Amino acid sequence: MCGLAGFLGGSPAPLADRAALLAEMARQIRHRGPDHGDTWCDPDKPFGLAHRRLAIVDLSAAGQQPMAAASGRYVIAYNGEIYNHLEIRAELERAGAAPRWRGHSDTETLLAGIDAWGAEATVRRAQGMFAFALWDRQTGILTLARDRLGEKPLYYGWQGTGQARTFVFGSELKALRRHPAFEGSINRDALCLFMRHNNVAGSHSIYQNIAKLPPAHLLTLSLRAPEPVLRPYWSGAAAALDGVRHPFPGTPEEAVDSLQALLRDAVGRQMMADVPLGAFLSGGVDSSTVVALMQAQSSQPVRTFSIGFHNSDYSEAAYAKAVAQHLGTSHTELYVTPEHAMAVIPELPASYDEPFADSSQIPTLLVSQLARRHVTVSLSGDAGDELFGGYNRYQITAELWQRLSRVPSSVRAAAAWGLTRLSPHRIDQLAATLPIASRWNNLGEKVHKGAGVMAARSSAELYRGMVSHWHHPQTLVIGGTEPDSVVPALDALTDVERMMALDMLGYLPDDILTKVDRAAMRHSLETRIPFLDHRVVEFAWRLPLACKVRKEAGGYTTKWVLRQVLDRYVPKALIERPKMGFGIPIDAWLRGPLRDWAEDLLDERRLRQQGYLDPEPIRSRWAEHLSGRRNWQHPLWCVLMFQAWLAHERVQQPTFDNEACEAVA
């Protein structure tokens, strides 16, 4: 795992000055690669690459970057792992296209493949996670690439004007900010997206004219053709549609066998490392499956890591410990105090680099810090919910729409008014006496949230409302207009499948993978996600929905096929329990120890002076939250994370000190 940065164009400058600037850009992301750093400048064109290395495979100098191809035509800066790179090497050797290998790094394999087949044909062969910048010295064309599901980040954009106009790119925005052409204007439209989704969604960034490369895309441009050309080399939407059209033909038992074999292979490939390796373990279905398949292929106890809280409502540590003991892993757990967890909050703006408000970012940073004390690579169980129907909201929304769609919208609006006459707390009290109490936690909040979207015209619109934090963000963000969402045609899918697909294409890369990547790389820890092997993704979509979600007595069983795999390794009694998110009690903290911090950031005068957000709805929700009448933790956390980021961003030094950078270089 590594970090990269670079630029194309801009004002002419001596090679030494360009190298110093690149070194300074790379210094900002040193946490992504503390083991080695270097720069490369084209002597004939205004182009440069910087790289920071976290050495995982081939720890020798033969794996250092930026790396030139054996032919000398291409130079690459690459972040990620290609898990099948040895097979790609073998294919190159069979074709007589392999160079004389200098080492055994996957970077060298990637370059050799590009030399032989081109970038697109090579990434189509690759199984892995990656983002890279490739410079073609012969044509002067820059190619940027990102992996299929979006595990690794890559930002880019033209900045500056006139002779200083420069195309900048990098793994994190903080590297781009160091370039003297960087403008730093906040994108109010992207801020609307953030307030709805708790992340800057899609290809947008918080800055004007800076974008994220979408997953499964290549981008090319040159000084002669400066408009970026994007083209996909794989499609998650197509994988979902093709899977539904060509379902797995076997029995459910055969589906379990096939999934087990495929996951075992994916996990085995991702255990490739020349450094210590372990796994996050929450004790839930997804992480327990990954750890079980790791331990089944390891001759030594696998290192596993869990974070626990003394508040049992937010802690799964006891379950994780029981799974670890059953599997025989070498388990490390850390119980953290609220004070320890809250101490992470000042780090969030620097760690996440742009506004990000999934509060599980805090325990994710803590467990990454814990794991890094012992290992350099950690496998994760992320993406199991999106691929195998693990979120209760899928069924809740589908059932709700089934009923709502039969009722005229005017009647629904009246019903919504009626539902909100009772407070969430009172609804929870009443629900505690009903059978559904064991199925839906925090029902009162869900009812109030559902009431706000009862006028939806489709299940997709209903779902969007259910997962939104601010329902009308353009009324909150001054001068902002929420961009239209680019939603692929998914009409062939059922309501539940459509929600799963939308989460895979949006929520997964924008929230889950961003959260994990930034938290882990903040501590120089590489994370790997076996469920995102694209072969697993494509197979999961071939499985009938009944293999994922089954209606049984007392409710639904989610991730059925995955549970059957896990049952072969871990007793059901250790796993079967209500789903628990990886969260913290932000609602209570905002009324208690975080109250003064939040009050300062939400100060009405401060908000008015900044001119980004309308103070009125914020202050209203803040007052309701403090009173205990409503739990507005999620929308308030969005505002607080933007405010904290804004305060941090404003104290950054955007100017470039050439003398200081020469000392760094």
Q: What is the DSSP string of 113-137?
A: HHHHH-HHHHHHH--EEEEEEEEET
Decide: helix, strand or coil at residue 268. Answer: helix
Are residues 288 and 323 in contact, defined by beta-carbon separation less than 8 angstroms? yes
Residue 442: which region, alpha, beta or left (left: phi > 0; alpha: psi -120 to 50)? left
Rounded Cα gap, residues 517 and 527, in angstroms: 7
How many Å apart are CA 15 and CA 44, to the nearest integer? 10
CA atoms within 13 A of residue 260's CA, in its CB half-sphere: 18
**Is the CB of residue 308 less than 8 Å from the CB of residue 318?**
yes
Rounded (5°) CA angle 372-375-379: 95
Strands 47-53 and 36-41, bridge-based pairing: antiparallel
What is the Cα–Cα distance from 488 to 113, expressed in whole angstroms? 31
Sequence-ordered list of residues with C-beta below 8 angstroms from that of 214, at least 6 positions apart, any chain? 146, 150, 202, 203, 230, 232
| Catalytic one of 2, 41, 547, 661 | 2
Retrieve residue 338's tokens: 């609220």
Q: Cβ neighbours of residue 176 under 8 Å, at least 6 residues apart?
A: 5, 25, 155, 157, 159, 168, 169, 170, 182, 210
Q: Compute the distance between CA of residue 337 and CA of residue 344 in angstroms, rounded to an integer.
A: 12
Residue 2 known to be catalytic: yes
Are 226 and 10 in contact by the 8 Å Cβ rule? The answer is no
- Report the C-alpha gap between 202 and 213 in whole angstroms: 9
Cα three-residue angle 87-93-95, rounded to 5 degrees:
105
How deeply is 246 buried, as exposed, middle or buried, from its count of CB atoms within 10 A (0-12, 13-18, 19+)?
exposed
User: CA distances (Å), 595 to each of 232, 588, 608, 636, 640, in order?
Assistant: 46, 9, 20, 12, 11
Strand 166-170, strand 211-212: pairing: unpaired
Alpha-carbon gap, residue 107 to 88, rounded angstroms: 12
Longest dimension (CA), the chain: 76
Number of other residues whose CB lies within 10 A of the CB of residue 592? 10
Its sign, for the CA torsion 213, 219, 222, 223, is negative
Give SS3 for 50: strand
Judging by DSSP bridges, how do beta strands 2-9 and 166-170 pair with one another?
A: antiparallel
Which residues on neighbouring strands pair with residue 557, listed in sequence order?
550
Residues 612, 358: Cα–Cα separation, whole Å: 21
Residue type (1 letter), 643 = Q
Q: For the chain, how many helices (H) and strands (E)?
A: 29, 19
Contact 356, 197 (CB under 8 A): no
380 is an annotated ligand-binding site residue: yes
- Cα–Cα distances in angstroms (integers) from residue 578 to residues 156, 444, 563, in the given order: 42, 18, 14
Q: Pairing relation of β-strands 303-309 and 277-280?
A: parallel
Catalytic residue positions?
2
**Which residues does the annotation place in the binding site for L-glutamine?**
106
**Which residues does the annotation place in the binding site for ATP?**
307, 380-381
